[in-house]
Amino acid sequence: MIRYLELIEYICLVISISNFIAIGLTLKKKKQIFKTMYFINNFGVVTISNLIIWIEGWYVDENNLSGSTMSFFLNFCNIALFILNNIMTINCKKTESVR
């Protein structure tokens, strides 16, 4: 069970890193970006990551197992990338609303 939760943590980290790269490329090319989409995407990834930490802690306590430091570290990386992504999206141009 714990291994599967850590696997999902890794997937969340990969999504956060790919969002970070996409925003960086957008900044480099000075293109417009849909800020709300990136915020919701990053927020969803961090929320899933935090819920996994909570579920893992609940499972560990119930079965008297030892917790995983790696999951905590991956969650910390996801939160740090969430903050960096939001700082970077502030510097991007916002897309015009299509009518």
Res 89: pLDDT: 82
pLDDT digit string, tens, across residues 5-30:
888 888 988 998 998 898 888 888 87
Res 66: pLDDT: 66
Res 8: pLDDT: 86
Overall size of the chain counted in residues? 99
Res 67: pLDDT: 66
Prediction pTM value: 0.73
Whole-number Cα distances in Å, 59 to 40, 49, 72: 28, 15, 15
pLDDT confidence bin for 4, thresholds 50/70/90: confident
Pairwise CA distance, residues 30 & 80, whole Å: 24
